[in-house]
Amino acid sequence: MTQSLRVNKQRLMGFLNTLGTFGALEGGGVCRLALSAADKQARDWVVSQMQALGLTIRIDQIGNVIGIYKGQEDVPPVMMGSHIDTVATGGLYDGCFGVMAGLEVISTLKDSGITPKRPVAVAFFTDEEGARFAPDMFGSLVFQGGLSLEEALAIKDVDGFTVGEELDKIGYKGNAPVGCFEVDTFLEAHIEQGPVLDKEGIKIGVVESVQGISWTEFTIEGVSNHAGTTPMSMRHDAGLVAAKINVFAREVAHKIGGSQVATVGYISCKPNLINVVPNHVVMTVDLRNTDNDVLKQAETLLFDYAENTAKEEGVKISRRKLARFDPVYFHKEIVDLVEQEAEAAGLNSKRMPSGAGHDAQILKEMCPTAMIFVPCKDGLSHNVKEFTEPDDLEAGANILLSVILKRANRP
């Protein structure tokens, strides 16, 4: 039955394209930061689609939304989902594909008159990106019980607005309690956000694991002084220390090798004038590895170097942990099932890790979990040119449908 049942590609693309109008950027792409006005518009529209399908809708105290399609038995649901918030210059597919594919799977079940043994649900989680509020994935963290509701509601963005205030403003501080909703299985369909599938001509990524993630913010305090009259030997240059840390982060990745990556994604320098020695820098370093011990090694190398370099330059340095997630390995039985369903559908596949963080890695702590990747053109993501062929989106949604039905109807 699962191989004969197919999603409606036109409807799936309609879902994605309509969602892409909320926060649309001129020339393409989307800016839909978590809990913004655009996020509210998108949430309202997705909820309206859930209502049109007759789903039971659950909105919890951190703004996570779940639509539940009733099963034959009153038991925990088999759930799909992801997120609909974006970075400031995002595309149409990151996160959104997982949610819209979930809507399409349930639409297909309803059209076909199929009521599986277990309920089937589709969810979107608050602030997966972490682009406005850190840490990323805090919506699923609170949902799973890994972060307290009180801590999450008190998180502030750069303008000082709290999560609690912004949830109230957009009307999505729900009544459903967090940390107590049971889930049977969680599947997240997603674009790869990397070039491997596209470059190798592979249709389905069978995701076995997610890299560990370490986000650190450094604050460097030096002495502001005249650029022309202050001898090099007498400077306390916060900008120089930041530059050295930036370069060393790349060197750490090369030295360790393998799957180790390092990125300095944010630098703010003050007073930011051409003829003044910088006295204040805030910067971030993102380290990732599939091996937690190696990730810890990278952190130690970076932190020691930052302290020593600051001491040599005579500046003060402090660091703050923005996010830290250990590597995650998904449920073998479901990973195998994704691979089997791809083979049965005549689609080539590849087992692979994810280099990006996802809600699925958080839910892994509460239920069997796995992910399905589809290619994205040239590996571009977090980019307004992010693109996946409709046929590839359809293929991924069909594998999601097959796996969900197998999990929902198992004894």
What are the tens digits of pLDDT across the range 260-299? 999 999 999 999 999 999 999 999 999 999 999 999 999 9
**Radius of gyration of the chain from its Cα atoms, rounded to whole angstroms:** 23
Q: What's the confidence (pLDDT) of residue 355?
A: 87
- Residue ranges of the chain assigned to CATH 3.30.70.360: 212-325
pLDDT bracket for residue 231 (50, 70, 90): very high
Q: pLDDT tens digits for 28-75?
A: 999 999 999 999 999 999 999 999 999 999 999 999 999 999 999 999
pLDDT bracket for residue 363 (50, 70, 90): very high
Host H or E run for residue 152:
helix 149-153
Q: pLDDT tens digits for 178-207?
A: 999 999 999 999 999 999 999 999 999 999
Please state, for a pLDDT cut of 90, what percent of the chain lies above it.
96
- pTM higher than 0.75 for the full model? yes
E strands, 63-102, where? Answer: 65-69, 78-82
The candidate with the shortest Cα–Cα distance to 81, out of 140, 17, 166, is 140
Average pLDDT of the residues in 354-369: 94
Size of the chain, expressed as the number of residues it contains: 411
The pLDDT mean for the chain works out to: 97
Q: What's the confidence (pLDDT) of residue 120?
A: 98
- Residue ranges of the chain assigned to CATH 3.40.630.10: 2-210+328-409
- Distance of alpha carbon 33 from alpha carbon 167, whole angstroms: 13
Whole-number Cα distances in Å, 167 to 151, 303, 304:
14, 36, 39
- Distance of alpha carbon 377 from alpha carbon 194, whole angstroms: 9
Q: What's the confidence (pLDDT) of residue 134?
A: 87
Q: pLDDT tens digits for 83-123?
A: 999 999 999 999 999 999 999 999 999 999 999 999 999 99
Pick the CATH number of 2-210+328-409 from 3.40.50.1820, 3.40.630.10, 1.20.58.100, 1.10.10.10: 3.40.630.10
Residue 135 scores a pLDDT above 90 = no
- Distance of alpha carbon 29 from alpha carbon 123, whole angstroms: 23
The candidate with the shortest Cα–Cα distance to 80, out of 59, 95, 92, is 95
Average pLDDT of the residues in 393-411: 98
Average pLDDT of the residues in 11-20: 98
Q: What's the confidence (pLDDT) of residue 389?
A: 98
Identify whether the C-beta of residue 249 lies closer than 8 Å to the C-beta of residue 262.
Answer: yes
Which parts are annotated binding residues for Zn(2+)?
Answer: 83, 94, 129, 190, 382
Which parts are annotated binding residues?
Answer: 83, 94, 129, 190, 382
The candidate with the shortest Cα–Cα distance to 142, out of 328, 324, 365, is 365
Where b means 16+ CB within 10 Å and e means fewer, 176-213 reads: eebbebebbbbbbbbbbbbeebbeeebbbbbbbbbbbb
Residue 1 scores a pLDDT above 50 = no
Based on the number of CB atoms within 10 Å of its own CB, is 233 exposed (0-12), middle (13-18) or buried (19 or more)?
exposed
The two counts, helices (H) then strands (E), for the chain are: 12, 15
Residue 410 scores a pLDDT above 50 = yes
Query: Which CATH class for the 212-325 domain?
Result: alpha beta
